[in-house]
Chains A and B, each alone.
Chain A
Amino acid sequence: MEGKEENASAEAAPLKLLGSWASSYTHRVQLALRLKGLEFEYAEEDLANKSDELLRLNPVYKKVPVLVHGGRALPESVIILQYLDDAWPERRPLLPADAFDRALARFWCHFADDKLGPAVGAVFTSTGEEQEAAVRQVHENLALVEAELREGAFKGRRFFGGDEVGLLDVVLGCGSYWLAVFEEVTGVRLVDADAFPLFHAWLRDFEALDEVRETIPAVDRLLEYARGVRHMLLGLAGAGGAGGAGADAPSSTAADAPTASPPPAAATATAADIAVDI
């Protein structure tokens, strides 16, 4: 059939992903491609020095990830994920079949990027009272997700997608690893296993999956990176080495920092680009 032949040749076209190793948005796409068993070429972008290719392929936002399929470029991770489902419907669908379940998955993906992610990011980029407020926000948002796992839309499920991971698992999961990293780097408590037992259990199961372990960078790499960014953002002296304990000094000692820090704009650009959020 003509349609099938067209599809087959379109599907067979090469896949290339432009991304950044510390970007949770990039990880979403890498994970989805692995879950679907799709081969792809990966190109690491230096976000402080973006390639001509990236700027050409994503002129509107100039961000990673960008998926290139058969020469056509697509930015925005959740849009890419849905594209993968649309283009390869027979390969491990990320979205469920039922229209209402799909709407639920999309809604909570929206929530993850609209509310939860920015709140987590705010914890990382602030100190003192501002940080306390951000932590409260994160807890409120996690409580909503916990409630859905406990008695709402995702009650009784191992993963948000059911027995297998789906779109929402990929979106929430690729980013949730920052929670433990930020806890370590900032000294605040974000995901208490007692306060959020189901979310905690889900995250543990998610991170144990082969495809996820293949995708998410080693935690010490993430820690080193996060410490570096936090140090730049707050202009604190003595970037955390291996011995660095979690707690950052309260804002009153920031004034003591003798070390020159890179210009704030660069630091902000880096944090935003890697999308340090859930």
Chain B
Amino acid sequence: MASSGDERAAAVRVIGGWASHYAIRVYVALKLKGVEYEFLQEVVGNKSELLLKSNPVYKKIPVLLHHGKAIPESMIILQYIDEVWASNGPAILPADPYARAIQRFWAQYTDDKIAPASLVLRGVTNGGKDEAAAQVSNALQHLEEAFVKCSQGKPYFSGENIGFLDLVLGSHLGWLKAAAKIAGVRVLDEAKFPELTAWADRFYTHHAVKDVMPETDRLVEFNAYLIEVLKAKASN
């Protein structure tokens, strides 16, 4: 992975975007750890030199730059933050090995099942909207049960504080709300998912989250713009 090498740059920089749920995870994690960072906004459809140099394999956001060292992949970044700033605030992953594994499992499951379905509901990728909604619903059912087991009556999957799985699933909330509006479907149904609905409210209003979680209407607008950009690229 490339090195930035610019001595004048801030020690911690994040190549990301205000609308990217993967990037939002990183912003919240850094805020939780009290780490200052430079926010670098990627322009949709026009990848920066820095991004291409920092993540040559995938060319995707987010990328964390720490003293010039580039770390891509949001879940890898979260674990890096957890390890480097271990003495700052609560741990992102729990100490218990089994609990860590369970959080990693559900986090991977979340991105596996919810991320692609969300893109279909948003109309960014092709697919059946009903099937996508069902896939999200099925995933949320599993996660509702997981929440009860993991939280043990506490506010978050990780207990008292926001942790790894909270960050991974929580970061999807903004787009899930927008996707529901765009596709005209119910996603986080309070009747079906009472625990997750209550957890989502707590997550949204958490001090580390509320400033970086975009408004639904802003996301809906951005989604329309994104689709236009993708269409233009496809026809070129």
Contact = CB atoms under 8 A, between A and B. Distances in A.
Contacts of B76: 103, 106-107, 110
A203 interface: no
B92 to A, nearest CB: 13
Contacts of A75: 105
Interface in A85-108: 86-87, 99-100, 102-104, 106-107
Contacts, number: 59
B39 to A, nearest CB: 21
A225 interface: no
Nearest to A111: B57
B109 interface: yes
A104 B57 CA distance: 12
Contact of B79 (A60, A79, A106): A106
Given A110-B73, A110-B76, A80 B84 contact: no
A102 B80 contact: yes
A76 interface: yes
A221 interface: no
B108 interface: yes
Contacts of B98: 69, 72, 74, 83, 87
A144 B56 CA distance: 10
B104 interface: yes
Contacts of A269: none
A110 B102 CA distance: 18
B80 A74 contact: no
Nearest to A110: B73
Given A103-B76, A103-B80, A110-B73, A79 B109 contact: no
Nearest to B2: A152
Interface string B105-120: 1001100000000000
Interface in A131-185: 144, 152-153
A60 B143 CA distance: 11
A118 to B, nearest CB: 14
Given A74-B105, A100-B69, A83 B79 contact: no
A19 B199 CA distance: 36
Contacts of B83: 99, 102
B48 to A, nearest CB: 20
B97 interface: yes
- By size class, the interface of chain A is 20 to 34
A87 B71 contact: no
B73 A76 contact: no
Nearest to A84: B97
A91 B142 CA distance: 34
B142 to A, nearest CB: 6
B61 to A, nearest CB: 15
A82 interface: yes
A76 B102 CA distance: 11
Contacts of A60: 109, 142
A112 to B, nearest CB: 12
A46 B57 CA distance: 37
Contacts of A82: 100-101, 104
A238 to B, nearest CB: 39
B134 interface: no
Given A103-B79, A110-B76, A83 B71 contact: no
A114 B220 CA distance: 30
A242 to B, nearest CB: 41
Interface string B140-160: 001000000000000000000
Interface string A32-76: 000000000000000000000000000010000000010010111
20 contacts: A72-B98, A74-B102, A74-B105, A75-B105, A76-B104, A82-B100, A82-B104, A83-B101, A87-B97, A99-B80, A99-B83, A100-B71, A102-B80, A102-B83, A103-B79, A106-B76, A107-B1, A107-B73, A110-B73, A144-B57
Given A72-B98, A107-B72, 16 more contacts: A60-B109, A74-B102, A74-B105, A79-B101, A82-B100, A82-B101, A83-B101, A86-B100, A86-B101, A87-B97, A100-B66, A100-B71, A102-B79, A103-B71, A103-B79, A111-B57
Report, nearest first, the 9 A-B pairs whose CB atoms are least far apart: A86-B97, A87-B97, A99-B83, A83-B101, A103-B71, A103-B80, A106-B76, A99-B84, A79-B104
